[in-house]
C-alpha cells in the first residue's frame, strides 16, 4: 500500500521528468524577421520565415522556421508574422527540432512580438 508521501514523491518525479523532456526538445531564438515565404504545397498552406542569425542544424539546413495550416491559429499567426516583418519588431520564436511543416525548416510552436515575455 502506498503512503501519501510516496504518491506525492512519484507525482513530483513524474512532473519533473515531463518538464525536462519538454525543455530538451524545444528551443528559443530572438531577432527581427529578415524574410517571409507564404507558400502552398499539395493544397497545404505553409508560412516559411527567417530571422536574424538563424541557426541551421539538423533537418533545418536552411536556417528557417515554418508553420502550416494544421495550427488552429494559422491565420492569426500569419497575420501577426507579416505585421512583425513589416514593422521590423523583434520576435521571439519557440521551435522544435522537427521539420514537419516544411522539410528543411524547423517547426515553430509559437512566437511573441515586441517587448513581452513569451
Q: Mean pLDDT over residues 77-87, rounded?
A: 98
- pLDDT at 4 > cutoff 80: no
CA distance 54 to 92: 12
pTM listed for this prediction? 0.76
Contact predicate 95/26, CB 8 Å:
yes
C-alpha grid cell, residue 31: 531577432
- Residue 19 has a pLDDT of 43
Domains and CATH numbers, the chain: 26-113 (2.40.50.110)
**10-50, pLDDT tens digit by residue?**
544 544 444 444 444 679 999 999 999 999 999 999 999 99
- pLDDT at 62 > cutoff 90: yes
- Residue 25 has a pLDDT of 60
Closest CA to 40 of 74, 64, 85: 74
First to last CA, the chain: 43
The CB density around residue 116, as the number of other CB atoms within 10 Å, is 7
Amino acid at each position: 500500500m502506498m503512503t501519501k508521501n510516496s504518491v506525492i514523491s512519484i507525482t513530483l518525479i513524474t512532473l519533473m521528468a515531463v518538464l525536462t523532456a519538454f525543455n530538451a526538445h524545444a528551443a528559443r531564438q530572438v531577432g527581427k524577421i529578415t524574410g517571409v515565404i507564404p507558400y502552398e504545397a499539395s493544397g497545404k498552406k505553409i508560412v516559411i520565415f527567417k530571422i536574424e542569425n538563424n541557426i541551421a542544424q539538423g533537418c533545418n539546413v536552411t536556417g528557417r522556421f515554418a508553420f502550416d495550416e494544421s495550427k488552429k491559429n494559422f491565420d492569426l499567426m500569419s497575420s501577426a508574422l507579416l505585421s512583425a516583418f513589416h514593422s521590423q519588431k523583434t520576435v521571439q520564436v519557440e521551435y522544435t527540432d522537427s521539420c514537419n511543416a516544411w522539410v528543411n525548416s524547423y517547426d515553430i510552436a509559437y512566437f511573441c512580438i515586441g517587448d513581452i515575455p513569451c
